[in-house]
């Protein structure tokens, strides 16, 4: 095994059927309109319908094919070395709200799987953050102390069943893993029908606030709703409260590897960078090792194939690899203070709610989000909502990150605009390249059908210049994470308009 045999493909997508819900083609009235069909949107719709509300969920593509379908699918409140940091930033009380919300989310998923007998490979396992260097041992031990203060059953362990040296680790008991689409497709089935709807291939272009909120789609249909939830990963409505300056995006990578070794019982993630995440998944009667990590800011990584190669080299160094049938990448929204935004989109908004910024821990954070939003929308006091309030501003925890990330955005914007040097326009099949064409910065991509796609590489969100991602054949924004296909169509928000494209026939 020297090269990848297959194009990137998520196992979660490949092992489940594609959905086929209709597009919205008329005006409708509902109690709650949910924009976004990932784990946050689907779980919120499921819970709100159980409360007796009529729901319309709108998804621009097919449900559960975005970040939710590209996760490692760990159901855990163990989110790296975070709890000592959060106690220092927001205090013990709010940090306990964070961890309790995620622990409650684990129990919610477990109970739904059991109650509905969902066959989704759910399994309870411990979760570990491990250190391979002495430098991180004190940080690991500090995290044990911090999590114990918060009531967690956490311990320091010296030895792990891993094929490389580990100096120590923190262990969280009673965590879990599952197949996210098998679980969430069952929930989606219960949402659609009896006055509630799921609409796919339905693009929202505007949200008009008021006593009744109007959600307007690209074909001019209107959903009128008493409440609206924006659950679109990076919020499509991001100018209110300047969310584009409070969130940055990161890409990371996953391999699905078949190995001859015995796999460790547990879920693992490294304390050191580059991150290495490990868990197994049932696959055709055997176990497949999921190896994740090698993250970087969107549009700012190396040649993206290098990240897959780095994970493959790690796998080959530590395991007896037979094959790597799957590889995929994902994109995560990273809040500058490490806490998701869940609640009213602005302090003065009574009817529009937001759910975003789950970092790399969306299975529990998004489930917690659905619980919090269900309570807020039905006027029930939620014990966890304060820490996630989108209107917070924690100077101690976020100011330095805010300055650093937004200086980085400014740098990438200026750097892209200054790239005007002449470049050879010869483009090989399957290759993308930024070129200067008659004084304009454009992107060339030559498809294997012989067509050459020429796009304007200025992001339609806020005008940053896009970078070519050769692993996913996409144009990626280094400022706010929008991604576009080689043909200019949108793959990831917050951009709402596609790129201008010209196609040249060979």
**Domain range annotation of the chain:** 11-71+182-245+338-394, 120-177+248-335, 432-504
Three-class SS state of 156: strand
The pLDDT value recorded for residue 439 is: 65
Tell me which CATH code domain 120-177+248-335 carries: 3.30.9.10
For residues 8 and 328, give the distance between their C-alpha atoms in angstroms, rounded to a whole number. 5
Q: In what order do the strands lie in the sheet with 432-437?
A: 432-437, 440-446, 452-456, 501-504
How is the chain split among helix, strand and coil, in percent rounded to 5?
A: 30, 30, 40
CATH entry, 11-71+182-245+338-394, from 3.40.50.620, 3.30.450.20, 3.40.50.720, 3.50.50.60: 3.50.50.60
For residues 337 and 398, give the distance between their C-alpha atoms in angstroms, rounded to a whole number. 5
Q: What is the DSSP letter of 9?
A: B
pTM above 0.75, yes or no: yes
pLDDT tens for residues 86-125? 999 999 999 999 999 999 999 999 999 999 999 999 999 9
pLDDT higher than 90, residue 497: no
More confident of the two residues 493 and 330: 330
More confident of the two residues 378 and 478: 378
- What is the rounded (10 degree) CA torsion for 164, 361, 82, 244? 130
Beta pairing, strands 168-177 & 123-131: antiparallel
pLDDT higher than 70, residue 328: yes
Q: Does domain 432-504 have CATH number 2.102.10.10?
A: yes
Three-class SS state of 95: helix
Q: From the centroid of its chain, how far is CA 456?
A: 26
pLDDT tens for residues 134-159? 999 999 999 999 999 999 989 999 98
Q: Which region among 82-91, 137-146, 312-321, 409-418 has the lowest average model confidence (pLDDT)?
A: 409-418
Q: What percent of the chain has pLDDT over 70?
A: 90
Residues 233 and 355: beta-carbon distance below 8 Å: no
Reading phi first (left if > 0) and then psi (alpha if -120 to 50, else beta), residue 372 is in: alpha
For residues 466 and 458, give the distance between their C-alpha atoms in angstroms, rounded to a whole number. 6
What is the average pLDDT across 343-360?
94
What is the average pLDDT across 416-443?
65
pLDDT tens for residues 194-251? 999 999 999 999 999 999 999 999 999 999 999 999 999 888 875 677 787 788 889 9
For residues 417 and 414, give the distance between their C-alpha atoms in angstroms, rounded to a whole number. 5
Q: What is the DSSP letter of 458?
A: B
Write the secondary structure of 23-89 as one string of H (helix), E (strand) and C (coil). Answer: CCCCCEEEEEEEECCCHHHHHHHHHHHHCCCCEEEECCCCCCCCHHHHCCCEECCCCCCCHHHHHHH
């Amino acid at each position: 095994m020297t090269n990848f045999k297959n194009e990137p493909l998520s196992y979660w997508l490949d092992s489940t059927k594609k959905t086929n819900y209709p597009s919205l083609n008329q005006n409708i009235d509902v109690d709650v309109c949910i924009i976004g069909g990932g784990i946050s949107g689907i779980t919120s719709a499921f819970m709100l319908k159980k409360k007796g509300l009529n729901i319309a969920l709108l998804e621009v593509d097919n449900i559960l094919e975005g970040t939710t379908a590209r996760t490692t699918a760990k159901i855990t409140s163990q989110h790296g070395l975070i709890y000592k940091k959060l106690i220092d930033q927001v205090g013990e009380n709010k940090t306990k709200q964070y961890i309790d919300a995620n622990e409650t989310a684990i129990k919610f998923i477990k109970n739904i799987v059991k109650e509905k007998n969902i066959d989704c490979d759910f399994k309870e396992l411990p979760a570990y953050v491990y250190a391979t260097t002495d430098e991180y041992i004190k940080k690991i031990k500090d995290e044990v102390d911090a999590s114990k203060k918060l009531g967690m059953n956490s311990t320091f362990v010296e030895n792990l069943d891993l094929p490389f040296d580990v100096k120590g680790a923190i262990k969280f008991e009673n965590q879990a893993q599952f197949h996210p689409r098998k679980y969430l497709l069952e929930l989606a089935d219960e949402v659609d029908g009896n006055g509630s709807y799921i609409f796919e291939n339905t693009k929202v272009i505007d949200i008009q606030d008021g006593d009744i909120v109007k959600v307007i789609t690209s074909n001019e249909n209107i959903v009128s709703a008493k409440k609206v939830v924006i659950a679109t990963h990076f919020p499509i409505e991001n100018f209110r409260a300047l969310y584009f300056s409070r969130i940055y995006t990161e890409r990371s990578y996953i391999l699905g590897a078949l190995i001859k070794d015995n796999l460790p019982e547990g879920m693992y993630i490294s304390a050191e960078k580059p991150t290495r995440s490990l868990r197994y998944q049932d696959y055709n009667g055997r176990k497949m090792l999921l190896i994740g990590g090698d993250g970087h800011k969107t549009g700012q990584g190396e040649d993206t194939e290098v990240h897959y190669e780095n994970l493959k080299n790690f796998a080959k160094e530590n395991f007896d690899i037979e094959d790597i049938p799957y590889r995929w990448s994902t994109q995560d929204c990273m809040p500058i203070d490490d806490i998701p935004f869940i609640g009213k989109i602005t302090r003065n908004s009574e009817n529009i709610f937001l759910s975003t910024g789950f970092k790399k821990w969306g299975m529990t954070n998004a489930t917690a989000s659905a619980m919090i939003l269900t309570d807020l929308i039905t006027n029930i006091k939620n014990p966890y909502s304060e820490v996630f309030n989108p209107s917070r501003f924690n100077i101690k925890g976020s100011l330095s990150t805010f300055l650093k990330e937004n200086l980085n955005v400014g740098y990438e914007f200026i750097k892209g605009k200054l790239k005007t040097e002449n470049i050879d326009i010869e483009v090989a099949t399957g290759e993308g390249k930024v070129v200067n064409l008659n004084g304009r910065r454009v992107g060339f991509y030559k498809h294997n059908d012989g067509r050459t796609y020429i796009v304007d590489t200025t992001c339609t969100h806020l005008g940053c210049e896009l970078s070519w991602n050769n692993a996913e054949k996409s144009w990626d924004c280094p400022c706010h994470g929008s991604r576009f296909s080689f043909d200019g169509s949108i793959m990831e928000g917050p951009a709402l308009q596609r790129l201008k494209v010209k196609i040249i026939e060979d």
